[in-house]
Amino acid sequence: MKEFNYLRADTLSEALEMLEEFQGNVKVLAAGTDLVVRLKGDMVKEENILDISRIKELKGIYAENGIIHILPLTTHTEILEYPDMKTAAQILYDACKSVGSPQIRNRGTLGGNVANASPAGDTIPALFVQGAKLRLKSKSGERVISVEDFFTGPGRTVLKPDELLVDIYFPTMSDDEVGFFKKLGQRNALAISVVSVAAKLKKSTEPNKFDKAFVAFGSVAPTVIRGNRVENALMDSVVDSPEKIRYIAQLAWREVSPISDVRASLKYRQDMSINLLYEGLLELYKNGWNRRS
């Protein structure tokens, strides 16, 4: 492993100063669950490592006016342990629960999962359907973008060299919204996602109908993607039978554009996208389109 210049920021202001100074030649270290592996594999070209893990301003969760804010250094375990998280953000809750081992959940952060920009990142499809916004900050100012506009490719984002992700926020789920997150790995636990699916549905006043539908797929394209055809079918249909659900789920085949790699073939990922979506919708249907307790 090559040598690096280690930098540590104890405040957000210090971090932004260093990002501006070493612009384009610095890699940010949050928890290190991914970066340490990349460092050992000599896959990091930057010469400076900026450790932001001790910045208290970037840790914590709070709710305000129906919006839940999760600061980027908040761990997956802290999200799972936050009071009412299962009610306010059930889909993200389920995604965090699926992340790695207890040790990874205790160490890994939501901001790191997002900024790493892996199409297999478990929390990203959940953030897509929960309508998350990201606040990015630099010394010269800040901007807010949709989570969907943040990713440009595997490991690539619109984050500028002098910017830092400082807030992740989205509306809390209302009583008439239901959803799910499902993931398929190569084994039952601790596996990187082969395919993942997240969905959020806003129920109509009419039985088995939806005013809004949000569906996202992970590990099936260069970035996490929305399933627009599936969403439109869910909003245009009376979803009142397993057969109707199977028909809608099969539209996923036209949404995804996966590759074949060592973890799964293209066709397998397409088939599993359909199956995971079908299973998630069927479970909700059998529960009367209500959330599980």
pLDDT at 238 > cutoff 90: yes
In angstroms, the CA 198 to CA 251 distance is 15
Is the per-residue pLDDT at 40 higher than 80? no
Residue 1 has a pLDDT of 61
Give whichever of 112-121, 162-171, 188-197, 253-262 has the largest mean pLDDT: 162-171
pLDDT for 27: 86
Tokens of 163: 């910017």
What mean pLDDT comes out for the span 183-200? 73
Q: Which residues pair with 53 in a beta bridge?
A: none
CA dihedral 177, 93, 198, 31 (to 10 degrees): 150
Residues 240, 230: Cα–Cα separation, whole Å: 16
62-121 per-position pLDDT tens digit:
999 999 999 999 999 999 999 999 999 999 999 999 987 888 899 899 999 999 898 888
Quick one: pLDDT at residue 187? 46
Amino acid code (one letter) for 192: I
Share of the chain above pLDDT 90, in %: 70
Q: How far apart are CA 275 and CA 293, in angstroms?
A: 23
Residues 6 or more apart in contact with residue 155 via CB below 8 angstroms: 116, 117, 118
The token pair that represents 24 in the structure block: 């384009």
3-state secondary structure of 180: strand
Residue 57: alpha-carbon gap to chain centroid: 22
- pTM attached to this predicted model: 0.92
Query: In terms of Cα–Cα distance, which of 225, 181, 222 is closest to 200?
Result: 181
Number of H helices, E strands in the chain: 11, 14
Q: Is the pLDDT of residue 2 over 90?
A: no
Contact 138, 164 (CB under 8 A): yes
**Angle at alpha carbon of residue 123, lines to 189 and 147, rounded to 5°:** 160
Span 114-147, pLDDT tens digits: 998 988 889 999 999 999 999 999 999 999 999 9
